[in-house]
Structure 1
């Protein structure tokens, strides 16, 4: 971003104009991400208004659209947005759009935006040349319409699979989104939900870590009978939550569920039958079921039986076979962050499509830095340095850029201040450490492993630490090995667990 634009924004716009600009910017980014102009449409406009050759215009159009900062805006649209945000009063006076028109023209003169004038009354094409995010820091999930969400290749891949799976004559998609904790899985699920809804699909999003599921269900019982009872309660809860999610598509129909008796029909069979006949079958349109929070069942008595159910669905209920009837089951997408099968094969091995959710690249970090209004003259060098320090973790990168922009400090100063009192990073890391320290056996195991990270770490500890985000996994010579997520974590964990105990 041009630092001169930052000076213009701060010095040449009044405080009221700055607020107006923020509303305009949020609107453009929202529209660009949801109803973007096609490259063909924008190319045509550019050829007509800028006397460009078609090839040059197309290159320019691709550049603008890839930034996600281009959308149609009229003075009337801007006026409405300002009214909705309480920056001007609604009423007859505001039917005169001259103030909004003059404001847009003034921004163009100052080069804060570029306007491509179009014929008709739909609004001209406005491109932001300057933008600063002014909302609150992100503490977890990126809300659906938040401009800070950075699309990755995984977004498009999932959308393609869903689009294909929602066709009547095709097998359903079964996607397994896998990435370490705090890398944006839930944020992606939320966007896939919105994507499917726009395709007129019935969509349900189930969070196994949500309040509908009692945490007691995931604690291993003292006997097999107790575990069986908890398993049945878990499946019953799952059915009720699925019903709630798809309720608006069931009209007046209300499914009545009954629990099977042991020895008559298996819980898994009854569970599948109820969902198919009483929820999925009555809905005569494409369906999508998203399941978040899979991690909570890993390492528990629920792990194997529930994952086997998912495998059965994929193999027997979601495939389009020759001469078979229509498929009742929905497309299914699950999200998880940790491995749970290290010495044996997972029930989901070779089932469905695994989608790796990569961490941020240098270019994505630069793009996000631009949204925070940061000017890095060395560009990719700073982005690479921050990526290396935080391992490209989207959650940590967002926190870092927020602190750098709000405190107006450079990257090196941030690294020195990262664990100052009241730092968001310190609070984040303390939560992880406190959870580890609650289990003395886990704490001792972790301390031993920190001292020599190529040493053995038992399966139970791997799962527990990965769930907390303290470790993640990488494939080394076809062997899944645990590792500390980033430099920041390693520095803090060694300080807390090794230096204090030495």
Structure 2
């Protein structure tokens, strides 16, 4: 945990154009979370030359879910910062200049065990795309698709944002046509293999969810 949080502090500092001052703030007697909070409060947030609140975006934090102890500690740290800004003391104004944007997927059942660390702030769930949104996204990739082509893709992947984006990216960057991509899209040998395979392993740990997942996979393969 100590190494992770030191890397975290150094990475944020580098993004802000600040030198690494961990040696001056890291006290081995104190815990790593306390040191990280002190580093942010007294150095990163104090020295950052910004005219508006600092937005710290953390993407794909669900990668930590496979390490429950580390995830629990890290997310409790973020929760502490949130509470410092909202319910803290005379130094709360410092934390009010920090905006946390935490992005994670909920396919991994482990997130349920960490839910207490997420029940603060404003949750924003990304819903499935509708046909118009998929068509707009296709245009962003330079694909001038008609409604039939959009419907053909959605008949296999629905409006699931990750799968839609992955398909469009593959068609755009690898010169694969829609007709070439779709017949294989539900198998583990294709562009979706890593995602489908990971979900398969996760669902095996929960028999009820696995049954639903197997039914959905069978439906996609027969489509």
TM-score, L = length of structure 1: 0.35
Structure 2 residue 38 is the aligned partner of structure 1 residue 282: no
In structure 2, C-alpha distance between the alignment counterparts of 1:272 and 1:323, rounded to whole Å:
15
In structure 1, C-alpha distance between the alignment counterparts of 2:214 and 2:35, rounded to whole Å:
42
Structure 2 segments unaligned to the other structure (5+ residues)? none
Deviations 1:157-191 (A, max 9, x none): xxxxxxxxxxxxxxxxxxxxxxxxxxxxxxxxxxx
In structure 2, C-alpha distance between the alignment counterparts of 1:427 and 1:310, rounded to whole Å:
37
Contact 1:319 1:327 in 2 (8 A): no
Change beyond 3 A, Cα 1:237–1:256: closer
Structure 2 residue 41 is the aligned partner of structure 1 residue 270: no
In structure 2, C-alpha distance between the alignment counterparts of 1:382 and 1:433, rounded to whole Å:
23
List aligned pairs for 1:91-490, cutoff 5 A. Answer: 231-247=1-17, 250=18, 255-257=21-23, 258-261=25-28, 264-285=29-50, 286=52, 287-300=54-67, 301-316=69-84, 318-319=85-86, 326-328=93-95, 329-338=97-106, 339-342=109-112, 344=113, 346-369=115-138, 371-374=142-145, 376=146, 379=147, 383-398=150-165, 400=167, 403=171, 413=179, 418-419=183-184, 426-432=189-195, 442=201, 446=204, 455-456=207-208, 483=213, 490=220
Deviations 1:291-324 (A, max 9, x none): 12311211312011111101100011x2387987
Change beyond 3 A, Cα 1:358–1:259: same
Contact 2:131 2:151 in 1 (8 A): yes
Contact 2:128 2:161 in 1 (8 A): yes
In structure 2, C-alpha distance between the alignment counterparts of 1:483 and 1:427, rounded to whole Å:
18
Contact 1:391 1:485 in 2 (8 A): no
Q: Which of these two proteins has the greater Rg computed from alpha carbons?
A: 1
After TM superposition, what 4+ stretches of structure 1 lie above 6 angstroms from structure 2? Answer: 320-325, 433-437
Q: How far apart are residue 403 of structure 1 and its match?
A: 4.4
Contact 1:255 1:279 in 2 (8 A): no
Change beyond 3 A, Cα 1:482–1:268: farther
In structure 1, C-alpha distance between the alignment counterparts of 2:154 and 2:13, rounded to whole Å:
42
Partner SS state of residue 336, structure 1: coil
TM-score, L = length of structure 2: 0.70
Q: How far apart are residue 396 of structure 1 and its match?
A: 3.4
Partner SS state of residue 355, structure 1: coil
Contact 2:129 2:159 in 1 (8 A): yes
Contact 1:288 1:331 in 2 (8 A): yes
Contact 2:72 2:117 in 1 (8 A): no
Deviations 1:424-449 (A, max 9, x none): 98432444577789xxxx59x73x97
Deviations 1:174-225 (A, max 9, x none): xxxxxxxxxxxxxxxxxxxxxxxxxxxxxxxxxxxxxxxxxxxxxxxxxxxx
Q: Does 1 or 2 have the higher relative contact order (CA < 8 Å, sep 6+)? A: 1
Q: How far apart are residue 414 of structure 1 and its match?
A: 5.5
Contact 1:359 1:394 in 2 (8 A): yes
Partner SS state of residue 326, structure 1: helix
In structure 2, the residue matched to 1:188 is: none
In structure 2, the residue matched to 1:119 is: none
Q: Higher helix proportion, which one?
A: 2
Q: Higher strand proportion, which one?
A: 1
In structure 2, C-alpha distance between the alignment counterparts of 1:360 and 1:485, rounded to whole Å:
22
In structure 2, C-alpha distance between the alignment counterparts of 1:490 and 1:387, rounded to whole Å:
11
Structure 1 segments unaligned to the other structure (5+ residues)? 1-230, 450-454, 458-470, 472-480, 493-502
